[in-house]
Amino acid sequence: MTRPETPPKLRCPTCGARQDWSDTCRRCRCDLRLVHRALRAVDHHRRQCLEFLREDRYDQAWQAARQCCDLDDREENRQLLALVEFIRGNFPAAVRVARGPLEASPTAKSRQAESPEEIPRDSRQPLAARWPR
């Protein structure tokens, strides 16, 4: 099994110790396997989102990007979600996502408001398809 791209040092979520990739923290002996699993899931969703974008499957790309941000709300993941929102034509959401962190635990109502079903069908088409030639 390959490990996702990670910084050379990993920070323990319990004590904050910076260390190389390992299953336990060198300082507090905290089990870091869940952190590793979460990082692998983020990497998986990120790659999946990029693949969906290559295949013009924008709704699935949005879902993968959103899952990526739900697991890890770093700037590069928010940029990916903002890009997907922009490509889908949801410009206000793209700006909102690009400007700052997502809410910590999105409620079902906020997720429903951003769901692909609530965006008019023609705005989910690629931008190039909507531009006059």
Domain annotation covers residue 132: no
Domain annotation covers residue 18: yes
CA separation for the pair 133, 124 (Å, rounded) = 19
Domain count, the chain: 1
Place of tokens 């990497």: 43
Which of 30, 56, 52, 41 is closest to 1 using CA atoms? Answer: 41
State both tokens at 25. Answer: 């923290």
**pTM > 0.75:** no
Domain annotation covers residue 112: no
**Host domain of residue 78:** 10-102
pLDDT digits (tens, 9 = 90+) for 15-41: 989 988 888 999 999 999 988 898 899
10-residue block means of pLDDT along the chain (133 residues)? 57 89 90 90 96 96 95 92 94 89 50 45 47 43
CA angle 74, 76, 85 (to 5 degrees): 105
